[in-house]
Amino acid sequence: MEAPFAFTVHCVKRARRHRWKCAQVTFCGADEQLCHLWMQTLREQLDKLTCRPKHLLVFINPFGGKGRGQRIYERKVAPLFALAAISTEVVVTERANHAKETLYEMNVDSYDGVVCVGGDGMFSEVLHGLIGRTQRMAGVDQNEPRAALVPSQLRIGIIPAGSTDCVCYSTVGANDAETSALHIVVGDSLPMDVSSVHHKGALLRYSVSLLGYGFYGDIIKDSEKQRWMGLIRYDFSGLKTFLSHHCYEGTVSFLPAQHTVGSPRDGKPCRAGCFVCRQSKQQLEEEQKRSLYGLESSEEVEEWKVVCGKFLAINATNMSCACPRSPRGLSPAAHLGDGSSDLILIRKCSRFNFLRFLVRHTNHCDQFDFTFVEVYRIRKFQFVSKHGEDEDRDLGEQGKKGLGQICSQHPSCCCAASNSSWNCDGEVLNSSAIEVSVHCQLVRLFARGIEEEPRG
């Protein structure tokens, strides 16, 4: 009997917990000509898929997380790109902002996307580089808080190799290099909102996940002093900040997101093919058209709200901010592309009540179901601290020695402090007074959102 002719097709196989695996299917036949015809037809059909990338620019952070970025790329990602006939230009970063500076300087017209191998910090570098480049080419002033930013045409792929990888987890549902690489290979596309953060008419940073003042700001600022501890520094600084229990007085002004069809407490998380994101963007565009033609001014029609008080934390999330430690995230029903952010205000309360609030981030209970917690879906917000801006620089020297002031005389209240810092996607912003605007679907990722897992 003659040996059969065969060819192998590589495909995606869905695994548990939102993971994808590369699988193989081999087809056999007795007719060699028929096998070649099948192979030719399959290649022609694949070539017609314009959504699939052919040439990618790859940035690898060799230092982030546990320093495994280059090894992860070479062992798990590069072979898949080679199978899919994707050519790459690889840049191993040598310093902070290397990727951002490269994207500003080089011609990226020949690429179908940019891939970052690292953690959230590496993604932020690529994000800032692409957005900044796009605005410069379009003649848009990024320092103007009201500027209408131009979306970037290049998609961003994230290969998780950091310590938290919040953005990847919130957009794919897993921190798995093979899964993320396969989403890039098949050419998935997921639009995502970006918030611009300004201070006194100057752009500070862009944010896609967490913008946190108070508790999360203090954690990230203290952890920067403990880098010698490695990744455990976040746990140490978290405990230290919790025991210090500082609250901060200020005023939050915000513009409600009237165009969105969801709410922070509706229990409807953002999923692949999200109706909320699609419908909210459509309503926002209709609202902007009415404003453009002079039928109405959206900000005049919508009334700004003002909240004053003492806060343990002020958080603004553009996504759920889910991660393995907090599978539902800081705001489980936050949406990736609805043109809004969830503003979470945690007012002054006892240490015990604040601990109850924090614990709920690790389970399925409603973390907003407390009298001292308020949550709003917003388009813009501003924050002004009660204390002067000149105190910002002195925050680090104001005597937080050891574990800080634990307020043993008043265990049920907070110790009032002057100003905190803002935690902007893991980076410290020392200016307490900021102005934030959400830009709807400003960037696109090589992802499709978290898919609903079949129940069985």
Instruction: Provide the 3-class DSSP secondary structure of residue 316.
Output: strand
User: Which segments within 318-392 are labelled E, that is strand?
Assistant: 341-347, 373-385
Contact between 335 and 280 under an 8 Å Cβ cutoff? The reply is yes
Question: 337 — phi, psi (to 5°)?
Answer: -135, 35
DSSP states of 213-280 as a string?
EEHHHHHHHHHHHTGGGGGGHHHHHHHHHHHH-EEEEEEEEEEE-TT-S--TTS-----TT-HHHHHH
Which residues, 6+ apart, have CB-to-CB distance to 397 below 8 Å? none
Query: Catalytic pick from 112, 120, 218, 392?
Result: 120
Contact between 433 and 385 under an 8 Å Cβ cutoff? The reply is yes
DSSP state of 326: B
Contact between 303 and 327 under an 8 Å Cβ cutoff? The reply is no
Would residue 112 show up in a list of annotated catalytic residues for this protein?
no
Instruction: Provide the 3-class DSSP secondary structure of residue 144.
Output: coil
Closest Cα to residue 55, out of 25, 81, 19?
81
Q: How far from 287 is each of 257, 259, 298, 342, 380, CA to CA, in Å?
A: 11, 8, 7, 20, 15
| Residues taking part in catalysis | 120
